[in-house]
Chains A and B, each alone.
Chain A
Amino acid sequence: NAGVTQTPKFRILKIGQSMTLQCTQDMNHNYMYWYRQDPGMGLKLIYYSVGAGITDKGEVPNGYNVSRSTTEDFPLRLELAAPSQTSVYFCASSYSKDLTFGAGSRLTVL
């Protein structure tokens, strides 16, 4: 039982490049989330999904896009990377109230 798997673990991007952070879960959870974590700032919600085909914006969605074509996968796309998107990104899933997190993806934009 792998839980929530994120790839890649580390990535360096140049300004203006695009990339996709992958997230998959094997717990059949309906809810999935993307957070970013900046030092001393806790976790901020970027996008979330309550089920396949349904996505919605969180607190800080600008510069990101998501899709949810299956229950298992919830990729996060950065179209035009900016230095402000340097952060650690966490994907999470849940059945009800408590979230299970992936190990994180550390992204640096130079």
Chain B
Amino acid sequence: GQQLNQSPQSMFIQEGEDVSMNCTSSSIFNTWLWYKQEPGEGPVLLIALYKAGELTSNGRLTAQFGITRKDSFLNISASIPSDVGIYFCAGPDYGGSQGNLIFGKGTKLSVKP
């Protein structure tokens, strides 16, 4: 079935540094979504990508929909302590539950002040 592989699993960075994380799949996706989950909360949508090659920004966050449609990247510039959390990529579950999303296992980000 479809699977999303996220890397790295975790990151420990200094405040002010830039962050890059990615999500890959053996299957083609027509939509990529990036969510952030803060401690004790549910995931919140950050960026949605709908077209191969698309580059979309949301403040200090930039995400790209890979040309092959099998990958996506999320970059955070000039990280701050409130960027701490788990970042999930997600895509539609074409082979399974209608309307459902497949989620990667997440990249856990820690930021040292």
Q: Which residues of A contact B (CB under 8 A)?
A: 4, 31, 33, 40-43, 45, 48, 50, 56, 58-59, 90, 92, 94, 97-104
Chain A residues whose CB sits within 8 angstroms of the CB of B33 once the complex forms: 97-98
Q: Is B77 an interface residue (CB 8 A)?
A: no
Closest chain-A Cβ to B85's Cβ sits at a distance in Å of 13
Size of the chain B interface, CB-CB below 8 angstroms: 23
Q: B residues bordering A, Cβ < 8 Å?
A: 9, 31, 33, 40-45, 48, 88, 92-93, 96-101, 103-106
With both chains docked as a complex, state the minimum distance between the C-beta of A85 and any C-beta of chain B, in angstroms: 19
Residue of B with least CB distance to A29? B99
Complex: A89 Cα to B51 Cα, angstroms: 32
With A97-B48, A103-B41 in contact, do A43 and B97 touch (Cβ < 8 Å)?
A: no
